[in-house]
């Protein structure tokens, strides 16, 4: 389950309890390397899951606000991700008969670290 889906579900459920109109919004997380990761959402579907209008994407920090304005999405910065909301989103998806992603993590870019090379030869 994408972490942004868990954040979005928490926002949408909280707003539903207070009768707040959430509208279109983007969950934004710090992706390091002077980039943000973002996903755009709008409302809940019939299964009670956030409607994802875009897949997660990376944006340079200084371009993000313009990109979100062009998409008509309000920016919502997330510094934490609730494991309970990810679990609830996954449970709702499974209840609805949807398949979840495999066991391998999904990344937006390749990691900074690389596998070590063969040990240096000592003579």
The percent of residues in the chain predicted with pLDDT above 90, rounded, is 59
pLDDT digits (tens, 9 = 90+) for 56-115: 899 999 999 999 999 999 999 999 999 999 999 999 999 999 887 767 766 665 666 666
Quick one: pLDDT at residue 107? 64
- Reported as a pLDDT band with limits 50, 70 and 90, residue 36 is very high
Instruction: Record the pTM.
Output: 0.79
Quick one: pLDDT at residue 42? 95
* Residue position matching structure tokens 């809940």: 44
- CA–CA distance, 69 with 87 (Å, rounded to integer): 31
The widest CA-to-CA distance across the chain, in whole angstroms, is: 73
Element (H, E) at 83: helix 83-95
Quick one: pLDDT at residue 100? 78
Quick one: pLDDT at residue 106? 65
């Amino acid at each position: 389950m994408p972490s942004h889906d868990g954040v979005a579900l928490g926002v949408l459920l909280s707003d539903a309890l207070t009768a707040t109109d959430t509208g279109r919004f983007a969950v934004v997380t710090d992706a390091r390397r002077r980039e943000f990761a973002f996903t755009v959402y709008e409302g809940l579907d019939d299964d009670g899951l956030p409607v994802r209008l875009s897949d997660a994407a990376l944006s340079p920090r200084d371009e993000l606000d313009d990109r979100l304005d062009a998409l008509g999405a309000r920016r919502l910065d997330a510094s934490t991700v609730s494991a309970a909301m990810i679990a609830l989103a996954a449970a709702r998806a499974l209840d609805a008969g949807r398949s979840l992603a495999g066991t391998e993590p999904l990344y937006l870019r390749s990691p900074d670290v690389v596998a070590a090379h063969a040990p240096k030869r000592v003579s």
